[in-house]
Amino acid sequence: MQELLGRITALDPEASVAIRVIACFDELIIGNVNTRALLSTAASLAGCPAGYAQDRPHRTVRMDPRGQPLHGPPPDTVRAIDLPQSAQVWIEREGAPHANDTIIVERLALAVGIRLGIERHDIEPRRDVDVMLDGREPRDLRREAACRLHLATTARLRVLAAPLFAVWGTHARGPGDVVSSEFGPVHAVVVTADHDPVDVSPAGIGVATDVDGLPRSYRSALVALRLCAPPEEPAVRADDYGGLAELLADTPADHPNPDADRLAELMAHPWARSTVDALVRATTVRRAARLEGVHHSTMQTRIETLTATLGFDPMDGYGRARLGVAYLLWRLRTSRVMELPTPAALAAR
Amino acid sequence: MSPATSAHGPPRPGFDPELKAGLAIVGGVFPPTITPELIPFMRRSYASPPVGETLAGRAVRHREYEIAGHAGDPITVSVFRPADAPGPRPVIVYAHSGGLMFGDRFNALDANLAWVERIGAVLVTPEYRLAPEFRDPYQREDVYATLLWTVENAAGLGLDPRRVMVAGASAGAGLAAGLALAARDRGGPRPAGQLLIYPMLDDRGTAASVNQFDGVGVWDRVSNETGWSAALGPAYRTDAVSPYLAPARATDLRGLPPAYLDVGSAEIFRDEAIAYAGRLWQAGGDAELHVWAGGFHAFDIFAPHTALAQGMLRTRFAWVERLLAD
């Protein structure tokens, strides 16, 4: 895979190979693969052997880039990282280090450590952006992290969240990092509230807050991100949904919701998605029919089907709000924006 | 391996964890969904590394020949032979992968040279012409011309004409299966075996697996449609399609050489390969089929370091060795 990494860089010098290496090891960690497989991947990515050793009981494993075990001790000079419990991982680079060596050894160490039962936080110190966006951390710690990142406590900020393989036309200015989310690893950048629009697809832009509110902005950015539907809707601003985005951020993705459940049944109809979209956006049935490009009577028939399935009239009173919320929940549940990588993104290059 | 969650479409088997990790890298050069606009990108991203790099430090000699391809036009054929192996050598005529639209004759060479180095076989790989610039029958007839040239020149090339295997990967495997059919029907040379590596066999795209992997892995339904329509043009999905390009369309599979098919369970060609093997058996043929659980298309090329790829390569090698070794 070293050769594939080289090809990615050759095709697009701006592409972040490091982020792909991180994602690769994250998948290996999630897949709970064994040490041999972790070393084989590291060796394959580096194009040179990778190894692991521990003291008690004494054990050394070395794998070559083709996934074949190597016997005997490693060479004297290796690029190594020590792990707790007197363990060590390394890659056996001869000559000058390559650009990706550091990230490969770092992620290998993390993955091997977790495989051996060492807690993640004992190997990988929490990073500032991660701390700042984590609402479970005490406010003082989050403020300290912000301070180290030179963010004033009074500044108006918002979080931009994108999948690791998002395509960036212009880059966001502000501290950023790969942070975990329940939907997979996310590239989060903290920008000023009045930052110029960023050309990136897909991405969610969170609500504006002060430093203390950044976890809330991050959560609303994740909702916005999952509402993206590139290429038609490459980026979504949580501001456009106001308080709804924050309500949705506090609703677990798999939380049962009878309105959304019934709407999901309805979405089996080929006309349903665009019709519901038109109804949510339009103020009258006539306007919705025009948006959808159908006759008023056709739209009326569809609304009757909707009413029968949903059990309420989506055009009346709270029915409109219920339809809107159910539609957003359905979009979040069926979002594919975090499925990586995005093929449309490559086509756009 | 857990079943994949798919918000839209049918459920699908998940990817092997090592392979799923590999996709984080593979996706940067080979997107799951290839549309016609992506063909120029794919030709750059799927181009093989320089052959000199692959050959460095190996006891393999490489020579290029210009032969008459379809309609007599010249095409280049690479011949890889062991540096030191006495007597007439067995030979493998190999058609490369790339959806009939991209790739070159050095594709997967690193792995395929095991046949040369460890069995002493001679590997013959034609630079068949690519769609959409060249449509059917260019691909299959360029490959057929290579088979004829190989057998006709066996003595001069130091080959054993009784041990000629046709082989290919993906689109190339479809061409190899078509080669076996055409050789049978035209009274051409009878191959000793047909090695069909995750073969692309059917332009109709009706197998259940074809619709299971939209937008994930390597080579999804849309990519397949792109490849077939590039090669077939207006004939795509009509009765005018030749079984020599889409061998699943052949109505008679009797009298074909022994076949080996391998495929991943998490790729669109799974059910087409299973069906073709089944039909070979029903026709009284000799076929061996291996389905690798959690494998995406061509995972042995993209992630040869993984345990699953090693199993696939080892098992395939053992069959080739059984058929061709001295």
Together in a domain, A80 and A158? no
How high does pLDDT run on average in chain A? 89
pLDDT tens-digit readout, A218-256:
999 999 999 998 878 899 999 999 889 989 998 887 788
Q: What does the pLDDT read at residue A349?
A: 42
Together in a domain, A117 and A96? yes
In a domain, A342, yes or no: no
- CB pairs under 8 A, 24+ apart, for A84-87? A84/A113, A84/A118, A84/A122, A84/A123, A85/A54, A85/A116, A85/A118, A86/A54, A86/A55, A86/A56, A87/A52, A87/A53, A87/A54, A87/A55, A87/A112, A87/A113, A87/A116
In a domain, A348, yes or no: no
Q: Which residues pair with A224 in a beta bridge?
A: none
In a domain, A347, yes or no: no
Q: Test A336 with B7 for CB contact under 8 angstroms.
A: yes
Q: Is A210 in contact with A192 (CB distance < 8 Å)? A: no
Coil, helix or strand at residue A48: coil
Which of A164, A342, A346, A349 to substitute to test the interface with B, most B CBs within 10 Å?
A346
CA distance B141 to B70: 5
Together in a domain, A135 and A231? yes
In a domain, B279, yes or no: yes
Residue A341 pLDDT greater than 70, yes or no: no
Tell me whether the omega of the peptide bond preceding residue B36 falls within 30 degrees of 0, making it cis: no
Together in a domain, A235 and A279? no
Q: Which domain holds residue A77?
A: 2-123
> Does B9 contact A at CB distance below 8 Å?
no
User: At CA A189, angle to CA A186 and CA A192, rounded to 5?
Assistant: 150
| CATH number (domain holding residue A40) | 3.30.450
In a domain, A191, yes or no: yes
Together in a domain, A173 and A222? yes
Q: Which amino acid is at A253?
A: A
> Does B293 contact A at CB distance below 8 Å?
no
Q: What does the pLDDT read at residue A340?
A: 57
Q: What does the pLDDT read at residue B8?
A: 47
pLDDT band at B28 (very low <50, low <70, confident <90, very high): confident
In a domain, B182, yes or no: yes
ipTM metric: 0.91
Structure tokens at A125: 């110190």
Residue A33 pLDDT greater than 50, yes or no: yes
Together in a domain, A141 and A243? yes
Cβ neighbours of A4 in B, within 8 Å: 25-26, 28-29, 302
Residue B2 pLDDT greater than 80, yes or no: no
Of A37, A340, A349, the CB nearest to B24: A340
Q: Test B20 with A31 for CB contact under 8 angstroms.
A: yes
pLDDT tens-digit readout, B117-172:
999 999 999 999 999 999 999 999 999 999 999 999 999 999 999 999 999 999 99
Cβ neighbours of A8 in B, within 8 Å: 25, 28-29
Together in a domain, A116 and A8? yes
Q: What does the pLDDT read at residue B83?
A: 94
Q: Test A30 with B22 for CB contact under 8 angstroms.
A: no
Q: Which residues pair with B166 in a beta bridge?
A: B93, B194
- Name A157's Cβ contacts closer than 8 Å, sequence gap at least 6: A151, A174, A190, A191, A192, A193, A208, A209, A210, A211, A214, A217
Cβ neighbours of B53 in A, within 8 Å: none
Q: Which amino acid is at B135?
A: R
3-state SS of chain A: helix, strand, coil percent to 5?
45, 15, 40
> Does B35 contact A at CB distance below 8 Å?
yes
Residue B268 pLDDT greater than 80, yes or no: yes
| CATH number (domain holding residue B32) | 3.40.50.1820
Distance from CA of B312 to the nearest CA of A (A): 13
- Region at B63 (left for phi over 0; alpha for psi -120 to 50; beta for the rest): beta
Q: Is B271 in contact with B300 (CB distance < 8 Å)? A: no
Provide the 8-state DSSP code for B62.
E
Distance from CA of A254 to the nearest CA of B (A): 12
In a domain, A16, yes or no: yes
Q: Which domain holds residue B209?
A: 23-324
Residue B113 pLDDT greater than 80, yes or no: yes
Together in a domain, A6 and A116? yes
Out of A74, A99, A123, a domain closes at A123
In a domain, B231, yes or no: yes
Query: Which H or E run contains A158?
Result: strand A157-163
> Does B113 contact A at CB distance below 8 Å?
no
How high does pLDDT run on average in chain B? 95
Out of A222, A249, A276, a domain closes at A249
> What is the mean pLDDT of the segment spanning B3-27?
80
Number of domains in chain B: 1
Together in a domain, A234 and A309? no
> Does A110 contact B at CB distance below 8 Å?
no
> Does A231 contact B at CB distance below 8 Å?
no
> Does A30 contact B at CB distance below 8 Å?
yes
In a domain, B146, yes or no: yes
Return the percentage of chain A with pLDDT > 70, whole number.
96
* Residue matched to tokens 């041999």: A36
Q: Test A8 with B29 for CB contact under 8 angstroms.
A: yes
- Name B2's Cβ contacts closer than 8 Å, sequence gap at least 6: B14
Q: What does the pLDDT read at residue B87?
A: 86
Q: What does the pLDDT read at residue A85?
A: 79
> CA nearest B193: which of B260, B291, B276?
B260
In a domain, B259, yes or no: yes
Q: Test B21 with A339 for CB contact under 8 angstroms.
A: no
In a domain, B10, yes or no: no
Which of A14, A27, A107 to substitute to test the interface with B, most B CBs within 10 Å?
A27
Q: What is the DSSP string of B73-141?
A: -EEEEEEEEESS--SPEEEEEEE--STTTS--TTTTHHHHHHHHHHH--EEEEE----TTTS-TTHHHH
Q: Which residue of B has its CA nearest to A44?
A: B305
CA distance B124 to B78: 6
Together in a domain, A175 and A217? yes
Tell me whether the omega of the peptide bond preceding residue A202 falls within 30 degrees of 0, making it cis: yes
pLDDT band at A171 (very low <50, low <70, confident <90, very high): confident
> Does B36 contact A at CB distance below 8 Å?
no
In a domain, B81, yes or no: yes
In a domain, A110, yes or no: yes
